[in-house]
A and B are shown apart, each in its own frame.
Chain A
Amino acid sequence: MLERLADLVNADASLVRRGRYLSTRFLVETGATAWLVTVHEGRVTAVERGPFLLREWTFAVRASEDAWRRFWEPVPAAGWHDLFALAKGGHAKVEGDLRPLMANLRYVKDVLAKPRRSA
C-alpha cells in the first residue's frame, strides 16, 4: 500500500522542506504487512516491504488494511480522517520513541496522508 510513498513525498517540495531536520527510520504496518520508511533530511530515501528480522526503527504506526483504506479515502468519514482519530478509536497504534514524531508531527502526518487521493 506504500509502494509509491517515496515518489509522492519527494515530489512535494514544501513537504520535503518542512521535514529537513528529520532523518530517521520508522515502521508502518498495514495489517500483516510491515514497511520501513527511511527519511533523510525530509526526503524519503527508501520504503522497504517486510518481513524484517532484527531491524531498528524509532517509532511505529500500526493499523489494519481496512483502517488505512478508510483513512486514505478522498474525503474520509468522521473518525477515520486523522491519525489520532484512528488511535482514539482503537484503530491505530502509535508506539516507540515518539520524540522525532512529535517534533515533526505535521511532516509525519502529511507523509502518512500522502496516499490519499484528492477529492
Chain B
Amino acid sequence: MADLEPVVGRYLRLSLDGRAHRVYFEEAGQGIPLVCLHTAGADGRQFRHLLNDAEITRHFRVLAFDMPWHGKSLPPAGWQDEEYTLTTRGYVALIRAFITALGLTGATGPGVETRPVVLGCSIGGKIVLELARLHAPEFRALIGLESADYQAPWYDDTGWLHRPDVHGGEIAGALMSGLIAPQSPSETRWDTLWMYMQGGPGVFKGDLFFYRADGDFRARVGEIDTTKCPLYLLTGEYDFSCTPADTERTAAKIKGARVTVMKEIGHFPMSEHPAQFRRYLLPVLEEIRARG
C-alpha cells in the first residue's frame, strides 16, 4: 500500500490584471475553507503540516496556493523582461480571484456557509489587515501571523537579494535562518530554509517591496471593523522582523483585534515548529468554528 498523504495538488487557471496565470494549490480536508497565504519568497509547502493535521482537516478544508512566480506557479508569459514587484492592490486581487474561482464567496443554501477563513503569515499576515479593512464581509474570520501595519527594516538594502555576485538562494536562506526560533526542530528549520533557497531570482526582493514599502498600513488599520469579521493576530517571540511589539502596536489601533504572542516561535510558525504552533492555532480555529 502506497503511503499517500491526504494532500492533493491541482492547478487553477486565473486571469490577473488581464494576463493568464496558472496557479498551483494544495488542499486537504472538508468543512470551513481555510485559505493559507505563504511568506515572501517561499511557497505553499510551508503549510504541509497543517494540510496533514487530521484534527484540523476534520473540520476545515485547508487550501494553500503558490503565488505566481513562487513554488509551482509559473510567472506569467513575458516575465523575462519584467522586474517582479508585489503590490497591495495586486495581492488583494490575487487572493480574491482565487477565492472567487473556487466558489468560496458566500452562502450556497440554508446553513451552508462557504466564506473562507484566511490565514496568512508575514506578507500574508500583513495583507490580512487590508482584507479586513476593505473586504471584511467576504470572510468568516481573518488570522494574521507575524502581522503588523509596519515593521522597521533590519537591513537597509534588499538589493543584496538579487545581484550576480551573491547567490540569491544562499543569502535568502542565511538571512531567514535568524528569524527561526532556536527551539525549532532541525528538520522543520531546514525545510523552511530550503524553500527560501529555492526562490526564483528577484522574487523575494519583489515581495519585500510590499512588505517594507507599499504595505505601510499605519494610517489605515484604524479603519478595520472587527464586528464585520473577527481578526486574530499571532506573532512569535523570536521574530525580530515583525516583532511582538509591532503586532501589539498594530492591534492597539484595531478595536476587537485579538493578539497572542507565541513562545519559542519565530517568523514561520506553521513551518518552523508545527507542533508548537498548533497549540496556539487550534483554540483559534475552535473558536471560529463554534461561532458558526
A residues apposed to B, CB below 8 Å: 75-76, 78-79, 81-85, 87-89, 98-99, 102-103, 105-106, 109
For A84, list chain B residues within 8 Å (CB): 154-155, 175, 178, 240
- Give CA–CA (A98, B157) in the complex, Å: 11
Answer whether residue B26 sits at the interface, using C-beta atoms and an 8 A cutoff: no
For A109, list chain B residues within 8 Å (CB): 174, 177-178
Given contacts A81-B182, A102-B160, A103-B170, 19 further A-B contacts (CB under 8 A): A75-B182, A76-B182, A78-B181, A78-B240, A82-B177, A82-B240, A84-B154, A84-B155, A85-B154, A88-B154, A98-B160, A99-B165, A99-B166, A102-B166, A102-B171, A103-B165, A103-B167, A105-B170, A105-B174
Q: A102-B166, A103-B166, A106-B170 are in contact. Are A85 and B237 (CB under 8 A)?
A: no
Are A105 and B175 closer than 8 Å at their CB atoms?
Answer: yes
- Give CA–CA (A103, B170) in the complex, Å: 8
Minimal Cβ-Cβ distance residue in B for A74 = B182
- Give CA–CA (A98, B237) in the complex, Å: 29
Interchain CB contact (< 8 A) of B178 among A75, A83, A98, A103: A83
For A75, list chain B residues within 8 Å (CB): 182-183
- Give CA–CA (A79, B245) in the complex, Å: 12
State the 7 A-B residue pairs at the shortest beta-carbon distance, nearest first.
A82-B178, A105-B174, A106-B174, A88-B154, A85-B240, A78-B238, A78-B237
User: How many residues does chain B have at the interface if contact means C-beta atoms less than 8 Å apart?
Assistant: 21
Answer whether residue B152 sits at the interface, using C-beta atoms and an 8 A cutoff: yes
- Give CA–CA (A106, B237) in the complex, Å: 23
Q: Could you tell me the distance in whole angstroms from the C-beta of B159 to the nearest C-beta in chain A?
A: 10
Answer whether residue B75 sits at the interface, using C-beta atoms and an 8 A cutoff: no
Answer whether residue B173 sits at the interface, using C-beta atoms and an 8 A cutoff: yes
Q: A88-B154, A99-B165 are in contact. Are A106 and B238 (CB under 8 A)?
A: no
Q: A102-B171, A105-B174 are in contact. Are A79 and B183 (CB under 8 A)?
A: no
Are B174 and A88 closer than 8 Å at their CB atoms?
Answer: no
B residues apposed to A, CB below 8 Å: 152, 154-155, 160, 165-167, 170-171, 173-175, 177-179, 181-183, 237-238, 240
For B175, list chain A residues within 8 Å (CB): 84, 105
- Give CA–CA (A41, B160) in the complex, Å: 23
For B237, list chain A residues within 8 Å (CB): 78
Q: Could you tell me the distance in whole angstroms from the C-beta of B92 to the nearest C-beta in chain A?
A: 29
Minimal Cβ-Cβ distance residue in A for B237 = A78
Interchain CB contact (< 8 A) of B173 among A79, A81, A85, A106: A106
For B174, list chain A residues within 8 Å (CB): 105-106, 109
Q: Could you tell me the distance in whole angstroms from the C-beta of A69 to the nearest C-beta in chain B?
A: 16
Q: Could you tell me the distance in whole angstroms from the C-beta of B171 to the nearest C-beta in chain A?
A: 5
- Give CA–CA (A80, B118) in the complex, Å: 32
For A99, list chain B residues within 8 Å (CB): 165-166
For B183, list chain A residues within 8 Å (CB): 75
- Give CA–CA (A119, B154) in the complex, Å: 27
Q: Could you tell me the distance in whole angstroms from the C-beta of A20 to the nearest C-beta in chain B?
A: 13
- Give CA–CA (A109, B173) in the complex, Å: 12
Interchain CB contact (< 8 A) of B240 among A88, A102, A105, A106: A88
Are B178 and A81 closer than 8 Å at their CB atoms?
Answer: yes
For B165, list chain A residues within 8 Å (CB): 99, 103
- Give CA–CA (A83, B175) in the complex, Å: 10
For A76, list chain B residues within 8 Å (CB): 182
For B182, list chain A residues within 8 Å (CB): 75-76, 81
Q: Could you tell me the distance in whole angstroms from the C-beta of B160 to the nearest C-beta in chain A?
A: 5
